[in-house]
């Protein structure tokens, strides 16, 4: 399967094309729109989320609620684009000028400087419009299709927020407990910690500052054998890490115990193997469900670290690209914390990687072929 996205933050629309999805996968637009609404949720989001109420349109590849086997095209219209046009035409409001204005006071932590140099631009807006995390809306819509594909095989994906700024929730939760995270304000399962994190977000906002955090994504029900130890490019952990690092603002990915593996001994890390009525299993799951780049049948556990949002209302020191004079970085409306959204986006990205790994191994023109092949596996 192949996913391509296009679209700028304040352009007309975001679009996605997904190739290689088998025929007869049921697609429910309401489910896609529920995921999109979740991506816009979360304490600490900026004003843009009030303007956009993302709804996906299916342009091709689906008829009567089922895929045809042809490329699927999805689209989300940017409401802010129309706002810009309206404001510009009546000339009464300078909001449009804000959205359309050029950015030359380069923002640290953004693609601005690297982008203007690489693409020989004098206005960083020509770079930032695509680099913006607005693009993740269409990845979430596409991710919903991959999730449906995995769900048809009994594979479930869920996640929650473990850390925001200095608030840490280190409790271990079951997969069923994690499912409740989406009903909370911040994606955190511990109410007390969530309230504390809200206070911290408020204090940071007051100070013109921002926060990041850590999310955990879990996958239940994926059989062993997906990904491969035979070539490095096929390794499932490598593919997950690469894809997840492709999400804006993600600066670290760990699988299972991750970095903590390096800080303890082999006895405290490796999962002993058992055999019983249900075949092979493990005493523990410190490997996070992947060994030798291949799923081992245990839950997949992936954690992602998100850096603090780089647009600061009390801007950092920078340089104006045109004058080369010292300046304060450009700032426009922005999130203070977007960690809840990251959890939703990460689920979509994990779904894409896993759906691809399944599709490569099992092939299939139709979903019934894929399901039959999956059910034959041990």
User: Whose Cβ is closer to ligand FMN: residue 179's or residue 307's?
Assistant: 307
Binding mask 299-328 for ligand FMN (x = CB under 6 A): --------x-xxx-----------------
Of 8, 278, 294, whose CA–CA distance to 126 is shortest? 8
Among 132, 281, 359, 366, contact with ligand FMN (rule: CB under 6 A): 132
Among 83, 121, 285, 334, contact with ligand FMN (rule: CB under 6 A): 334
Contact set for ligand FMN, span 339-368 (CB under 6 A): 341-342, 345
Other beta carbons within 10 angstroms of residue 267's beta carbon come to 7
Contact set for ligand FMN, span 154-213 (CB under 6 A): none
Is 241 a residue that touches ligand FMN (CB under 6 A)? no
CA distance 41 to 183: 10
Q: How buried is 263 (Cβ within 10 angstroms: 0-12 exposed, 13-18 middle, 19+ buried)?
A: exposed
Is 46 a residue that touches ligand FMN (CB under 6 A)? yes
Q: What is the closest distance, in whole angstroms, from the C-beta atom of residue 346 to ligand FMN in the complex?
A: 9
Is 42 a residue that touches ligand FMN (CB under 6 A)? no
CA distance 41 to 39: 6
CA 124 to each of CA 173, 228, 326, 366, 376: distance values in angstroms, whole numbers, following the listed order: 43, 41, 17, 45, 53
Q: What is the closest distance, in whole angstroms, from the C-beta atom of residue 93 to ligand FMN in the complex?
A: 21
CA distance 305 to 216: 9
Is 133 a residue that touches ligand FMN (CB under 6 A)? yes
User: Whose Cβ is closer to ligand FMN: residue 109's or residue 292's?
Assistant: 109
Is 121 a residue that touches ligand FMN (CB under 6 A)? no
Would you say the C-alpha torsion 370, 256, 178, 283 has a positive or negative sign? positive
**Would you call 220 helix, strand, or coil by DSSP?**
strand
Provide the Cα torsion 334, 340, 341, 343; round to 10°: 140
Q: Which stretch binds ligand FMN (CB under 6 A): 11-19, 91-99, 184-192, 330-338?
A: 330-338
Q: Which residues bind ligand FMN (CB under 6 A)?
A: 46, 109-111, 131-133, 136, 247-249, 307, 309-311, 334-335, 338, 341-342, 345
């Amino acid at each position: 399967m192949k996913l391509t996205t296009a679209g700028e933050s304040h352009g007309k629309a975001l679009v996605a094309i997904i190739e290689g999805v088998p025929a007869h996968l049921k697609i429910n637009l309401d489910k896609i729109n529920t995921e999109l609404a979740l991506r816009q949720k979360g304490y600490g989001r900026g004003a843009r989320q009030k303007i956009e109420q993302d709804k996906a349109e299916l342009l091709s590849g689906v008829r009567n609620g089922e895929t045809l086997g042809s490329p699927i095209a999805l689209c989300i219209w940017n409401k802010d684009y129309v706002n810009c046009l309206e404001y510009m035409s009546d000339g009464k409001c300078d909001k449009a000028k804000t959205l359309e204005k050029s950015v030359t006071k380069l923002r640290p932590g953004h693609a601005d400087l690297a982008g203007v140099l690489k693409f020989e631009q004098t206005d960083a807006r020509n770079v930032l419009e695509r680099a913006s995390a607005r693009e993740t809306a269409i990845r979430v819509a596409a991710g919903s299709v991959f999730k449906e594909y995995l769900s048809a095989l009994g594979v479930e994906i869920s996640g929650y927020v473990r850390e925001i700024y200095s608030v840490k929730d280190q409790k271990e939760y079951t997969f069923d407990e994690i499912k409740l995270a989406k009903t909370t304000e911040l994606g955190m399962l511990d109410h007390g910690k969530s309230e504390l994190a809200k206070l911290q977000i408020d204090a940071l906002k007051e100070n013109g500052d921002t926060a990041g955090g850590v999310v955990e994504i879990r996958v239940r029900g994926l059989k062993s054998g997906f990904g491969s130890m035979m070539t490095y490019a096929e390794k499932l952990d490598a593919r997950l890490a690469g894809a997840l690092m492709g999400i804006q603002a993600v600066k670290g990915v760990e699988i299972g115990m991750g970095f903590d593996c390096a800080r303890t001994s082999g006895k405290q890390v490796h999962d002993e193997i058992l055999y019983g009525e249900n075949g092979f299993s493990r005493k523990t799951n410190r490997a996070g469900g992947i060994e030798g780049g291949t799923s081992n049948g245990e839950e997949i556990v992936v954690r992602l670290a998100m850096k603090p949002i780089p647009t600061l209302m009390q801007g950092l020191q920078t340089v104006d690209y045109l004058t080369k004079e010292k300046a304060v970085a450009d700032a426009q409306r922005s999130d203070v914390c977007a960690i809840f959204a990251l959890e939703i986006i990460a689920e979509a990205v994990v779904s894409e990687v896993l759906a691809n790994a399944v599709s490569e191994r099992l092939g299939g023109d139709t979903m019934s072929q894929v399901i039959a092949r999956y059910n034959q596996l041990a």
